[in-house]
Amino acid sequence: MEAFMDYAEARAFIDRVAVKGNELGLETITNLLELLGNPQDELKFIHVAGTNGKGSVLAYLYTVLQEAGYTVGRYISPTLFSYRERIQIGEGCATWNADREAQKKKRVGLEEPLGTEYISREDFAECASMAAAAYEEMGRRGMKLPTVFEVETAISFLYFKKRACDLVLLEVGMGGRLDATNIIRTPVLTVLASISMDHMEFLGDTLAEIAWNKAGILKPGIPVASASQLPEAEQVIREEAVSKGCAYTFVRPEEITDVQENIFGSLSEQSGTVDNKNVFRSENSAEDSERSPDRLQIPAYSKTGNPAEGRKSCEPGFQSFVYDPFGRVEIALAGPHQRENAALALECIGILRQSGYTISDEAVREGLRKTEWKGRFSVIHRDPLVIIDGAHNPDAARVLRRSIEEYFPKQKKYYIFGVFSDKEYDKIIEITAGLAEHIFAVETPDNPRALPVQELAKAVSRVNPSVEAAESIAEAVRRSFQMAEPDDVILAFGSLSFLAEAERAVRLYAEN
């Protein structure tokens, strides 16, 4: 190729490659990167695998490291709102902290969260052109051609090298041992989020096999931080770490103490109604106590689509806890599981400090507090409260149920639920469906893996007969708003692939 493609041509190239599908193995990505000069060898990585929680842990580290002044690359999948979301840069926060509120106003309607820059169309086209040239050369040489994930991974390495990232947060696509991201040889830290049963057709039928696949990203002598794991998975991780001479640490859930979290208002025993006080639950107190709302304000959107000025926070989020040696920290992501994800990020920060990275206590506190991660028990509307969550496997469904029961024990719940046919959807339904007043089954759009909506509705009806098959996601949103009272809760969850459309449908409904 003599000239770079434009963005449309680059995306067309990606679409052509995607026809092949995905498969595991390192031979092809090795050949592709060798033709590109092995850009990954000039980068330093934090490599993250796991079944659930990878993205949240990456999000915490991403923000904390920016607060500490580092230029950080982040490679994630799947994406929710933009194709270019998978390749991101976050530069040191000294500039964007200076006038955060002014920048928020300027960024209204833009794709990227504050402090994040998605790869530009021009940079994507340039890096994709280089990858396409190598792809064509592999074809001329009769080599096995790379998959779309391998090509995208190579593009990310080229871009992160161009931007001279201090660290790259690299999320495994599937498994770990044979995942394309495991081509790297220069990690400074390996991270294992919670491991459970998923992708069994590729990774194995037992938890030990799946853990073995994910622990395959461990590199000799490189430290490992792991979430608290089930005993079968923990044993595999320990054995892998010892065999490779890796120092390792596990999150200690029992040492997450003095938890304080806001709940959804407070329930009046006399009337059963919800008020809008800012009420916290504390592990160390038998009674709920009011806290100052000033530092715990969350923008919330009503049917006008505008922030509810002067409204006190009452949706899930803004919880704090003590985890030694860091003391008390505060996070804005909701759900009990987020405390453990944040604790894993803290374990990572401790290791990075020991490795020579300068990360102040202030950077830790501010980074954790400012971390955003859409689509993970995220509030997108209030009156009624609407939450989107990517619970797409049984373990994530159990976490979601735990959050629902903790935050909304008495509210009526309405579900908008869509899932892929290759997921254990019967188990997800068994775990979650019994809590719902009514369920709208939807078909995830434009995806051959989508479970047909009538089939999904039939499966749900075996657990909860109050279910209907919606013609579209927009129809499910409209009907759920018609049924829900202001104090009720609407939860859109399942496949991450439909959450962006669900959010758009909610915003459109709120504006009309």
Around Cβ 130, how many Cβ atoms within 10 Å?
18
Supply the pLDDT for residue 71: 97
Supply the pLDDT for residue 264: 38
Give the mean pLDDT of 398-413: 91
Around Cβ 465, how many Cβ atoms within 10 Å?
9
Residues 445 and 397: their CA atoms lie apart, in Å, by 21
> Which of 267, 2, 294 is closest to 132 using CA atoms?
2
The structure tokens listed for 177 are 């041992």
Supply the pLDDT for residue 31: 98
Give the mean pLDDT of 328-337: 89
Say if residues 215 and 236 touch (Cβ distance below 8 Å): yes
Say if residues 282 and 260 touch (Cβ distance below 8 Å): yes
471-490 pLDDT, tens per residue? 999 999 999 999 999 999 99
Supply the pLDDT for residue 314: 35
Share of the chain above pLDDT 70, in %: 83
Residue 386 has pLDDT above 60, yes or no: yes
Supply the pLDDT for residue 114: 57
Residue 288 has pLDDT above 60, yes or no: no
Supply the pLDDT for residue 268: 21
232-262 pLDDT, tens per residue? 999 999 999 999 999 999 999 999 999 987 6
Cα 276 to chain centroid distance, Å, stands at 29
What average pLDDT does the chain have? 84
- Which one-letter amino acid corresponds to residue 368? L
Q: What would the DSSP string read from start to end of 58-92?
A: HHHHHHHHHHTT--EEEE-SS-SS-GGGGEEEE--
Say if residues 389 and 378 touch (Cβ distance below 8 Å): yes
Length of the chain: 512
Q: Would you call the peptide bond into 78 cis, given omega within 30 degrees of 0 as the criterion? A: yes
List the beta bridge partners of residue 262.
280, 317
Q: To which H or E segment does residue 388 belong?
A: strand 385-389
- For 174-239, what is the HEC assignment? CCCCCCHHHHCCCEEEEEECECCCCCHHHHCCCHHHHHHHHHHHCCCCCCEEECCCCHHHHHHHHH
**Structural domains in the chain, sorted by start:** 378-511 (3.90.190.20)
Supply the pLDDT for residue 452: 95
Residue 466 has pLDDT above 70, yes or no: yes
Say if residues 456 and 447 touch (Cβ distance below 8 Å): no
Supply the pLDDT for residue 43: 98
Residues 200 and 217: their CA atoms lie apart, in Å, by 18
- Sheet containing 467-469: order of strands: 378-381, 385-389, 489-494, 413-418, 438-441, 467-469
Query: Which of the four pLDDT bands, split at 50, 70 and 90, describes residue 3?
Result: confident
Helix axes 425-432, 394-407, angle to 10 degrees: 10
Query: Which of the four pLDDT bands, split at 50, 70 and 90, describes residue 104?
Result: very low
Comparison of pLDDT for 440 and 274, the residue scoring more? 440
127-141 pLDDT, tens per residue? 999 999 999 999 999
Supply the pLDDT for residue 57: 97
Decide the pairing of beta strands 279-282 and 289-290.
Answer: antiparallel
Beta strands per DSSP E along 390-488: 413-418, 438-441, 467-469
Residues 214 and 199: their CA atoms lie apart, in Å, by 12
Instruction: List the end-to-end C-alpha distance of the chain, in Å, as a whole number.
Output: 49
163-195 pLDDT, tens per residue? 999 999 999 998 899 999 999 999 999 999 999
Supply the pLDDT for residue 509: 92
64-93 pLDDT, tens per residue? 999 999 999 999 988 877 899 999 999 865
Give the mean pLDDT of 194-201: 76
Say if residues 280 and 313 touch (Cβ distance below 8 Å): no
Residue 148 has pLDDT above 80, yes or no: yes
Supply the pLDDT for residue 151: 98
Residues 35 and 90: their CA atoms lie apart, in Å, by 28
Supply the pLDDT for residue 112: 56
340-379 pLDDT, tens per residue? 999 999 999 999 999 999 999 999 999 999 998 888 888 8
Supply the pLDDT for residue 107: 38
10-55 pLDDT, tens per residue? 999 999 999 877 778 899 999 999 999 999 999 999 999 999 889 9
Supply the pLDDT for residue 201: 65
Residues 456 and 433: their CA atoms lie apart, in Å, by 12
Say if residues 189 and 46 touch (Cβ distance below 8 Å): yes
**pTM for this entry:** 0.80
Residues 152 and 132: their CA atoms lie apart, in Å, by 11
Comparison of pLDDT for 47 and 335, the residue scoring more? 47
Give the mean pLDDT of 432-458: 93
Residue 144 has pLDDT above 60, yes or no: yes
- For 282-342, what is the HEC assignment? ECCCCCCEECCCHHHCCCCECCCCCECCCCCCCCCEEEEEECCCCCEEEECCCCHHHHHHH
- Sheet containing 45-49: order of strands: 117-118, 87-90, 72-75, 167-171, 45-49, 187-192, 224-226, 248-250
Residue 296 has pLDDT above 80, yes or no: no
Residue 390 has pLDDT above 60, yes or no: yes
Supply the pLDDT for residue 23: 78
Say if residues 494 and 428 touch (Cβ distance below 8 Å): yes
Say if residues 181 and 40 touch (Cβ distance below 8 Å): no
Say if residues 253 and 194 touch (Cβ distance below 8 Å): no
Residues 463 and 63: their CA atoms lie apart, in Å, by 41
Lowest mean pLDDT among 195-204, 296-305, 316-325, 401-410: 296-305
- Sheet containing 328-331: order of strands: 289-290, 279-282, 257-262, 317-322, 328-331
